[in-house]
Amino acid sequence: MKLKSIRYRGIRALNASIHPYKADIPKGTTDFVIPFAEFDVGDVNLIIGENGSGKSSVIDMVRACAFPEILATLVRENPIGYCPPAYSLNFQNGHRATYSFPYVPFDLDLSIDFAGCETSFFRGGAIEQTEQDLHKYDSAKHRKLPPPFLRADQLHYRHCGHVAPVIDTQCVEELNRVRADLAGLADRSKDFKDSELRYVDGNSLIDCGDGSVKICLGDDSDVFNRIPAQSFPSGWQSYAATAAWLVTRPKYSICLIEEPEVHLHPKLQRLLLRRLLAIAEENGLQLFISTHSAALINSLGNDVHHKMSVKLFKTTNGFVVTALDLASTLDALGYKASDILQSNCVIWVEGPSDRIYLNYWIKGHNGDLVEGVHYTIMFFGGRLFRHISGAEFVEGAQEDAESVDDLISLIRINRNSAIVFDSDKSSANATLYKTKRRLQNEFGSQAWVTQGREIENYLDERLLFNSIKATHKHAMNMLQTGQWANLLEYEIAAVPNQTSQNIRTASKVKVARDYVKTHTRVDFSALDLRERITHLCDFIVRSNHYDL
C-alpha cells in the first residue's frame, strides 16, 4: 500500500508559523487557523535540507502510522493557539490516516506531561476513531497507544547512522554485485577472458558463515584471504548492510531510510542509490530517503527509471517543497561543483546536446558504463574555447596560444579527461580554427574532433529530419545534406506578401532529446563514429582500472 500525499500543520517546526499567511488574513480576524500544507509523493522520494529543517519530521510522520509510540514526539510541548497540530497520510487506494493533537489530555485528571492524540482511520468506507493520552517525554508512560494504521511488515525504518552494520550472506552477495567497483578487490568473473579458463566460483567474496569472509584481492587474484567481516572497509559494510536490508523487505512495503551516505565515498553513494532504485522497482517498494549527499542528488538525473516516479524534496522555512532547481538545491546544502573531482573520468563537451548523444552512443556500445559512476560529462561551452587548455600545466601550452596565463587546465581538474567538439568545417579542404588545433594537440588521442561539420552529422539524416519535424511543426524541408552541411537548418512554408526569410535553425537540445528517445537502436556506421566511440569507451574503462 503506497502513499499518495501528506497533509500537515504544526508538526514540530513544519507549517507552524503564521508569518507566511499574514498577508492573506483579513484585518480584525481573531479566529484564524493555519491551513494544512500538502505535498504529493512518488515511488522514490529524496528529502534534503539543513539540520533541523524537518527532514526527519517527514520520515517520522510516516513511521508513526506503524509505530505509534513516537506520535508524541511530533508535537511541541506548547503548541501555538492558531496552529493546532495535525497531519494526515493519504494512500493511493483511498485509505487515509489522520492524527490530531489537542492542547490538553482527554483525561483532565492527568498532569500536563500528557497530551491528547486523536486518530481517524478511513478504510474502505469505514471510519475508525480513537482518543488516547500520550506522555510527552517518556513512551514507557503512555496510558494506551493508538492502534497502528499499518502493520509492522508493511512499513520499515532504517537510520544508517545509528545502525552498526552486520555482514551476513546477503551482504556478501550485495558486495559481489559491485565487486568491479570496490577498490582493491579482484573481479574473478572477468579473469581469463581471452581463454577458456574460468574459476569454479566467479565471486570475489565468499561468506564463511562464522563472521569471516574469503576475499580475493586485486593484486593476487589466484588465492583467497580469509578476514573477519568486521575488518572490511566501513564504506563496504555500510553499502552492503543498507542494500541487503532493503532487498529483504517484503514486497510492496514502505521503506524509510535516513542518511544512507554515512561512510560512503561519492562513487559508492551513486552505486547505492542505483541499487536501491533497482530493488524498489523489482519489489514494488515505496522509498523515503533523507540525505545531505550531493552525490545522491546528482544521481537522480542520471538514473531514470521509467516505471517509477522519483521526486526530490527539500525542507525549508517550515515547509516541504519540490526541489525543481538542483543548482540552487546544492547551493542550499553548502556544496560546490567539487563533486566532479570524485569521478574517475571526465568528458568535456560544448553543450547539453553533445551530452545527450554521447550518453546515447556510450550506452549503445557498452551498457555497463554508467554516467555518474564511471564517467562524468561536463560542459565548457563553445565561447570558453579560448580560455581552456589540455596541457597539464598551463605553462606547457603552446606559446602561440591565446594569453597563456589566462588558460584553465582541464587536465589538472581531472587527469583522465577527454574532449569532444565540432570541427565546424564547411568542406573537406577547410582547416580547423587555431584554438581547436591547439586543443587537439594538447589532448592528443583523447581529443575527438567530429569528422563532419558538427556532431549531428553522425546521425541518420532522414531520422534526424523526422526529429526536427517532431519538435518544429512548421519545418518543411532540410536545407542541406551531407558531411559538411548544417543539418539543423530547415525551410518553412513561405508566407504570402511577406519578404522575411523562410529559413530556420532547429533547437539542438529539443532535436537531440527526440532523436535518442525515438530511435533506441544505435547506428554506428556514419563516418568514424564506431572508431571514436570505441576509443572513448576504452578510455573510460581504463580510467576506472578494470574491464567491463
Q: What is the CATH number of the domain that holds 271?
A: 3.40.50
Tell me the three state secondary structure of residue 51: coil
Return the pLDDT at 229.
Answer: 73
Report, as an integer, the average pLDDT of 27-37. Answer: 88
Return the pLDDT at 263.
Answer: 84
Q: Of the residues 197, 231, 265, which one is the last residue of a structural domain? A: 231
Return the pLDDT at 498.
Answer: 62
Per-range mean pLDDT, top range of 44-58, 314-328, 400-414, 455-469: 455-469
Return the pLDDT at 389.
Answer: 65
Same domain, residue pair 493 and 470: yes
Report, as an integer, the average pLDDT of 120-145. Answer: 86
Helix, strand, coil shares of the chain, percent, nearest 5, are 35, 25, 45
What percentage of the chain reaches a pLDDT higher than 70? 82
Return the pLDDT at 413.
Answer: 60
- Give the Cα separation of 71 and 135 in Å (integer): 10
- Of 280 and 389, more confident: 280
Q: Which residues contact 39 (CB under 8 A, 6 or more apart)?
A: 5, 6, 313, 320, 321, 322
Return the pLDDT at 336.
Answer: 43
Return the pLDDT at 202.
Answer: 59
Same domain, residue pair 61 and 83: no
Cα 514 vs. chain centroid, distance in angstroms? 22
pLDDT for residue 301 is more than 80: no
DSSP letter (8 states) at residue 168: -
Query: Range of 91's domain?
Result: 3-22+33-40+71-149
What percentage of the chain reaches a pLDDT higher than 90? 39
Same domain, residue pair 350 and 293: no
- Give the Cα separation of 70 and 51 in Å (integer): 20
Asked if the structure places residue 395 within a domain, the reply is: yes
pLDDT for residue 41 is more than 90: yes
- Split at pLDDT 50, 70, 90, the class of 248 is very high
Return the pLDDT at 376.
Answer: 85
Return the pLDDT at 55.
Answer: 93
Same domain, residue pair 311 and 391: no
Mean pLDDT, all residues of the chain: 82
- Split at pLDDT 50, 70, 90, the class of 19 is confident
Report, as an integer, the average pLDDT of 272-300. Answer: 87
Sign of CA dihedral 298, 302, 306, 308: negative
Asked if the structure places residue 193 within a domain, the reply is: yes
- Give the Cα separation of 477 and 474 in Å (integer): 10
20-34, 138-152, 192-206, 268-282: which range is least confident on average? 192-206
Report, as an integer, the average pLDDT of 11-31. Answer: 86
Per the CB < 8 A criterion, the answer to whether 235 and 268 are in contact is yes
- Split at pLDDT 50, 70, 90, the class of 70 is very high
Same domain, residue pair 257 and 206: no
pLDDT for residue 231 is more than 90: no
- Split at pLDDT 50, 70, 90, the class of 405 is very low
Return the pLDDT at 408.
Answer: 58
Tell which residue, 57, 41, 24, has the closest CA to residue 318: 57
The amino acid at 110: L
Report, as an integer, the average pLDDT of 96-107. Answer: 86
Return the pLDDT at 309.
Answer: 85
Asked if the structure places residue 546 within a domain, the reply is: yes
Return the pLDDT at 385.
Answer: 61
- Split at pLDDT 50, 70, 90, the class of 153 is very high
Tell me the three state secondary structure of residue 365: helix
Report, as an integer, the average pLDDT of 29-39. Answer: 90
How many independent structural domains does the chain possess?
A: 4
Task: Please report which residue ranges of 352-428 form alpha helices under DSSP H.
Answer: 352-365, 410-413
Return the pLDDT at 383.
Answer: 57
Same domain, residue pair 478 and 539: yes
Render pLDDT for 455-486 as a digit per residue (tens, 0 to 9). 999 999 999 999 999 999 888 888 889 999 99
Strands (E), 197-308: 205-207, 212-217, 220-228, 254-258, 286-290
Asked if the structure places residue 99 within a domain, the reply is: yes
Same domain, residue pair 402 and 534: yes
Asked if the structure places residue 524 within a domain, the reply is: yes
Q: Of the residues 313, 338, 363, which one is the last residue of a structural domain? A: 338
pLDDT for residue 56 is more than 90: yes
- Split at pLDDT 50, 70, 90, the class of 217 is confident
Tell which residue, 419, 274, 396, 319, has the closest CA to residue 11: 319
- Of 195 and 382, more confident: 382
Return the pLDDT at 401.
Answer: 42
Same domain, residue pair 307 and 293: yes
Same domain, residue pair 84 and 187: no
Same domain, residue pair 431 and 466: yes
Q: Of the residues 316, 338, 360, which one is the last residue of a structural domain? A: 338
Tell me the three state secondary structure of residue 532: helix
DSSP letter (8 states) at residue 133: E
Confidence (pTM): 0.65
Report, as an integer, the average pLDDT of 345-363. Answer: 91
SS (H, E, C) 125-170: CEEEEEEEEEECCCHHHCCCCCCCCCCCCCEEEEECCCCCCCCCHH
Same domain, residue pair 184 and 295: no
What are φ and ψ of residue 81, in 5° steps? Answer: -60, -40
- Give the Cα separation of 361 and 369 in Å (integer): 11
Return the pLDDT at 137.
Answer: 81
- Concatenating the DSSP letter of every residue in 184-217 gives TB--GGGTTTTSS---SS--SEEE-SSSEEEEEE
- Of 428 and 400, more confident: 428
10-14, 29-33, 193-197, 250-254: which range is least confident on average? 193-197
pLDDT for residue 337 is more than 50: no
Return the pLDDT at 183.
Answer: 67
Asked if the structure places residue 318 within a domain, the reply is: yes
Same domain, residue pair 58 and 121: no
pLDDT for residue 350 is more than 70: yes
Asked if the structure places residue 131 within a domain, the reply is: yes
pLDDT for residue 540 is more than 80: yes
- Of 190 and 327, more confident: 190
Longest dimension (CA), the chain: 96
Return the pLDDT at 224.
Answer: 75
- Split at pLDDT 50, 70, 90, the class of 109 is confident
Q: Tell me the pairing of strands 376-379 and 346-349.
A: parallel
Asked if the structure places residue 237 within a domain, the reply is: no
Render pLDDT for 479-498 as a digit per residue (tens, 0 to 9). 889 999 999 999 887 766 66
Per-range mean pLDDT, top range of 71-80, 229-238, 414-423, 515-524: 515-524
